[in-house]
Amino acid sequence: MKLHPVEVLSREEHGRHVLLRYRWTGAAPEPGQFVMVRPERHADLDPFLPRPLFAHDYDGDTMNLLFEVRGRGTALLAGEDAGLLVSTPLGRGFEIGGGAAVALIGGGVWVSPLKLLSRHLQDAGVDHDVYLEVPGDAPEAYADFLRTRYEGATLVETGGESDPSQTVLDHVGDPARYAALYASGTAAMLGAVKRAADGVVPAHLALRERMACANGSCYGCAVPVWEAGEKTYGRTCVEGPVFEAEVLAW
């Protein structure tokens, strides 16, 4: 996979999250697509795989990534003086239909791809409600960031309950009042959205299976899917990361 050096414009910390902006005038990302990213100065550290991150926002000139610092890779990407190597946008993103209102649902701290989706829905004139979980252990700075970044969104604080996904879905209400659900989040949240939407409304789920090659050759990111009534596997990096809920054989 070809990685391109890019000019980093800014890095902002919001609790454990970093909003990273870089100049990008290559192929425009579709909502739900991701890029593979690695720090430039660690190019000699082999093996050091690039990390997959969703396109968080894009205005035709500047790409935004929003990520939580989890381990070594994301800590290096958050580093103040680290140059960046990035791929073009990859994978299959969210399908956007026209017409009736839709709901965007973010679970855990995995809300990143919903921003670009919201922008495209707005451009397409599709009304949408946004519901975002704020886990009890998330820093206040992260919640503040969500409030300004996702203006008008319903923020749902969770913590302590046995099923936080259901707490968020309680705010969404009857899924039938929406033409589609779009979700990004924990496996528990994606499973809950799939069950709530089943037979009621189409649901589009953004998966985050761990990746290696990101070009379809290693099958490390495969998930069980239904194809012509048979259970088979779909690669998150090529057939996803967005899958229709009814296709996933969970």
Ligand X SMILES: Cc1cc2nc3c(=O)[nH]c(=O)nc-3n(C[C@H](O)[C@H](O)[C@H](O)COP(=O)(O)OP(=O)(O)OC[C@H]3O[C@@H](n4cnc5c(N)ncnc54)[C@H](O)[C@@H]3O)c2cc1C
Contact 101, 179 (CB under 8 A): yes
Q: For the CB of residue 74, give the shortest distance to ligand X in the complex, in Å.
A: 3
CA 221 to chain centre: 15
Question: Binding residue for ligand X (CB under 6 A) from 31, 39, 73, 185?
Answer: 73
Question: Binding residue for ligand FES (CB under 6 A) from 143, 213, 247, 249?
Answer: 213
112 contributes a contact to ligand X by CB under 6 A: yes
- Taking CB under 6 A as the rule, which mask of x and - marks residues 142-171 in contact with ligand X? ------------------------------
Q: For the CB of residue 113, give the shortest distance to ligand FES in the complex, in Å.
A: 17
Contact 236, 223 (CB under 8 A): yes
- What is the C-alpha radius of gyration for the chain, rounded to an integer number of angstroms? 18
Label the pairing between strands 203-206 and 181-184.
Answer: parallel
Cα–Cα distance, 219 to 202 (Å, whole number): 27
37 contributes a contact to ligand FES by CB under 6 A: no
- Taking CB under 6 A as the rule, which mask of x and - marks residues 169-208 in contact with ligand FES? ----------------------------------------
- Whose CB is nearest to ligand X? 71
For the sheet containing 8-14, what is the strand order? Answer: 8-14, 17-23, 62-68, 57-58
Contact 225, 249 (CB under 8 A): yes
Residue 195 binds which entry of ligand X, ligand FES, none, with Cβ cut-offs from 5 to 8 Å by kind? Answer: none
Q: Which is nearer to ligand FES, 219 or 250 (CB)?
A: 219
Closest Cα to residue 206, out of 221, 226, 186, 177? 186
| Two structure tokens written together for 177 | 């009042």
Residue 213 binds which entry of ligand X, ligand FES, none, with Cβ cut-offs from 5 to 8 Å by kind? Answer: ligand FES
Residue 212 binds which entry of ligand X, ligand FES, none, with Cβ cut-offs from 5 to 8 Å by kind? Answer: ligand FES
Closest Cα to residue 211, out of 203, 222, 201, 200? 222
Q: To which residue do tokens 């259901």 refer?
A: 166
210 contributes a contact to ligand X by CB under 6 A: yes
- Part of the chain binding ligand FES (CB under 6 A), chosen from 81-89, 158-166, 197-205, 212-220: 212-220
Q: To which residue do tokens 């990101």 refer?
A: 214
Residue 155 binds which entry of ligand X, ligand FES, none, with Cβ cut-offs from 5 to 8 Å by kind? Answer: none
Q: Which residues bind ligand FES (CB under 6 A)?
A: 211-214, 216-221, 235-237
